[in-house]
């Protein structure tokens, strides 16, 4: 992967948006904004609709679920805070999926 400065990107895992997981297991959004079994492709599509560039790393695992290699997404988001980015993506996912 190309070297990217830390203040320019955010790493996202599908578990952040999974309605089947508890907050303790990695979900970062309210259940009302979460979806069932989010995929990297759906999250990437939502990011692109919001105008963010993304890089997929499919062989990575979420730290809480290190035995499940669900992958992760690197989102180049500029000055946008991670929490705000996750909320925006989650709203977009509800529109993409639901």
What range defines the domain where residue 74 resides?
Answer: 6-97
Total count of domains within the chain: 1
Supply the Cα-derived Rg of the chain in whole angstroms: 13
Please give the mean pLDDT across all residues of the chain.
Answer: 88
Question: Is 1 contained in some domain?
Answer: no
Tens of pLDDT, residue by residue over 31-57, are 999 999 999 999 999 999 999 999 999
Residues whose CB falls within 8 Å of the CB of residue 34, separated by 6 or more in sequence, listed in order: 17, 18, 19, 27, 90
- SS3 of 35, please? strand
Is 0.75 topped by the overall pTM? yes
Q: How confident is the model at residue 2 (pLDDT cuts 50, 70, 90)?
A: low
Please report, for the domain that includes residue 33, its CATH number. 3.30.56.30
């Amino acid at each position: 992967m190309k070297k990217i400065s830390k203040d320019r990107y955010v790493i996202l895992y599908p578990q952040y948006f999974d309605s089947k997981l508890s907050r303790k297991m990695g979900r970062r959004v309210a259940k009302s904004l979460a979806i069932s079994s989010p995929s990297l492709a759906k999250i990437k599509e939502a990011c692109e609709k919001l105008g963010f560039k993304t890089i997929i790393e499919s062989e990575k695992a979420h730290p809480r679920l290190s035995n499940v290699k669900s992958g992760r997404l690197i989102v180049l988001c500029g000055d946008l805070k991670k929490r705000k980015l996750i909320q925006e993506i989650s709203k977009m996912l509800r529109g993409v999926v639901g």
